[in-house]
Structure 1
Amino acid sequence: MKMLVNSEIYTYNEISNIPCKRCDIGDNFPVRKSHKYSPFLDCIKNKQLRGVCHTVFTPELIGMRLSVDATKIRNIDNAGGSSEESEALSFELLKRFYNAILIKTEMQVKYKKMEMENGKKTDDNGKKTDYVCKIGDTIIGVSVTRARSYFIDRAKKIAEKYPDRNILPGKPFSLEDAIKLLKKKLECINESNRYSLENWTKQLLHVWSAENDISDKLEQAFHNLERLEPELVSNTVLLITTTTGTACDFIYMNDRKSMQNEQCYVGDNR
């Protein structure tokens, strides 16, 4: 296994201008790493730092193995939604790059009772962090989300199903969409920080991005929020992983049956 902790630091849009070969860091788990501004590990270790970091993920599903802990995240119940695959791969990436150690899964994280607000008790469940891990000596909470032009994907499928109909094209992922997504997730992170009984010092927001252009908009949105709403961004680190190829569709659709048909995740890579 190749651990790429001390690789060079580049912004995402510089990747095409530098020599960069595929980095196999485990069984059929090729990832390229690039960072902007503060190196990822410095952002994680320093409580005051925040920043944007990038990786590029091009998997080969057949024979791609998950670690025991990533398999655990994938197979156990979470707090709802359909994000087990993206959360499991998120941890696997951190484990392979930075020797991350899983501390707690989503349902193991403990929170204080929600407070009364405006005379009403808030939702008992609150906003959950997806998992807690340790990188080096630092414990961090990790929240995972996905960014993709879903409307375009849906419009294409409808057009294929009903070729005789005039189906309007979907709307591409915009800067406004990126700002809306990040604001929602950062608000959840702040609430999770507020009520958590865990001893993490900061959180990582990991976004799986389906296109280069979406990754650029996410970074731009993050910096806009840094400038306009610094208290919202706080010391959160944004990790954007851009996926390439149709083999990554399952990350966004959470289609476990499709993955099983591809014979991926065979066995456990400890």
Structure 2
Amino acid sequence: MQQRKRHIENTIGGRGPGGRGSRQHKRNIPGKVTITSPLNSSLKNKKNAFSKTATSPQSCLKSKLETFTPKTGQKTKSVNIYIGENFSVRLNEYFKLIKCINDNKEGGLIQYEYDPFRRVRNMKLSEHAQKLQDVPNAGGSSVISEVMSYEVLKRCFGAKLLKTEMEVSYFPEGGSITDYVCEMFSTRLGVSVTRAMKYRGEYTDEDAEKLLVKKLTGVIQATQNSLENWSKQILHVWATSTNVANTIIKTYHKLPEHIKCNTVVIVTIAHNSPEIFFNM
């Protein structure tokens, strides 16, 4: 009886191979990291989290978003997570994004969360993101938001920069312009970047409507006047918080179809990212 008890301890939780007390279980595996992601909380909060082992960090940078399905006994959704050297991205609607991009007639709205691991000035950016940061643009104080817009689309979705803001030609000139042109999911896209924020007070439905109508109308005008052959445009909205993002989303669904057109609106909740909003 004692021998049987000792055998169970060794094989399940004791000193046997793979047991909780074994050297094999405790040994760290070089080049591996455990990715944890609770469904409704920060990536850093491990309570009620599910996990999967993935290579890191270099191979994570080369990979696409990986799909994780938590096993909690409750009805849940698959979540896509990208964890790289500079930031993580959490997205629930990866396949909807692909569909929206590839369907030239239909638009749509996608939301994801962005968590940086370091300041932008300390990030090792991709070659084309660095180009967006270095080349002249049409003015304004939104360079960092445009750079990180492209960096996220490249790292997570394989976007490839085709033209910067000043390389795109329009006729007639003088109207709204797009921030950069890229190819993603084999589709040529114009990308316009904006920021949803408010210095003082609560971000209201009126604030969201004013921003969306202005930017979506500008997207339509830029597409009509552009001499480039893109299929459709992305309006990439950086939001300072979940509340701001929810206000943008709620307002978007109330807009008339001729304003939304076939534009894909991506709303990104940027956690701990003041430089995206204030170019610090």
Q: CA deviation at 1:79?
A: 0.9
Q: CA deviation at 1:4?
A: 3.9
2:276 paired residue number: 251
Secondary structure of the structure 1 residue equivalent to 2:139: coil
Tell me which amino acid in the other structure corresponds to 1:233. Answer: K
Q: How many residues align?
A: 212
Sequence identity, in percent?
37
1:97 paired residue number: 156
Matched ranges for 1:138-149 at <5 A = 138-149=187-198
Matched ranges for 1:44-55 at <5 A = 44-55=101-112
1:74 paired residue number: 133
Tell me which amino acid in the other structure corresponds to 1:183. Answer: V
Superimposed CA distance per residue, residues 74-122 of structure 1 (whole angstroms, 9 cap, x where no aligned partner): 1111111111100000000100111100000000001112xxxxxxxxx
In the alignment, the residues of structure 1 paired with residue 81 and residue 213 of structure 2 have an alpha-carbon distance, to the nearest angstrom, of 33
Superimposed CA distance per residue, residues 176-215 of structure 1 (whole angstroms, 9 cap, x where no aligned partner): 1111100000111011011000001100000000010000
Larger radius of gyration: 2
- Return 5+ residue gaps in structure 1 as ranges: 10-16, 114-123, 153-170, 256-270
Contact persistence 2:237–2:268 (CA under 8 A): yes
Runs of 4+ in 1 over 4 A off after TM superposition: 17-22
For 1:189, which of 194, 215, 219 is the aligned residue?
219
Q: Please, what TM-score do these two structures have when normalized by structure 2?
A: 0.71
Tell me which amino acid in the other structure corresponds to 1:126. Answer: G
Tell me which amino acid in the other structure corresponds to 1:231. Answer: H
In the alignment, the residues of structure 2 paired with residue 5 and residue 223 of structure 1 have an alpha-carbon distance, to the nearest angstrom, of 27
1:216 paired residue number: 246
Q: CA deviation at 1:5?
A: 4.3
For 1:175, which of 205, 211, 223 is the aligned residue?
205
- The structure-2 alpha-carbon separation of the partners of 1:131 and 1:31, relative to structure 1 and needing over 3 Å to count, comes to same
Q: CA deviation at 1:249?
A: 0.4
Contact persistence 2:68–2:79 (CA under 8 A): no
Contact persistence 1:85–1:251 (CA under 8 A): yes
Secondary structure of the structure 1 residue equivalent to 2:253: helix
More strand by share: 2
Contact persistence 2:65–2:156 (CA under 8 A): yes
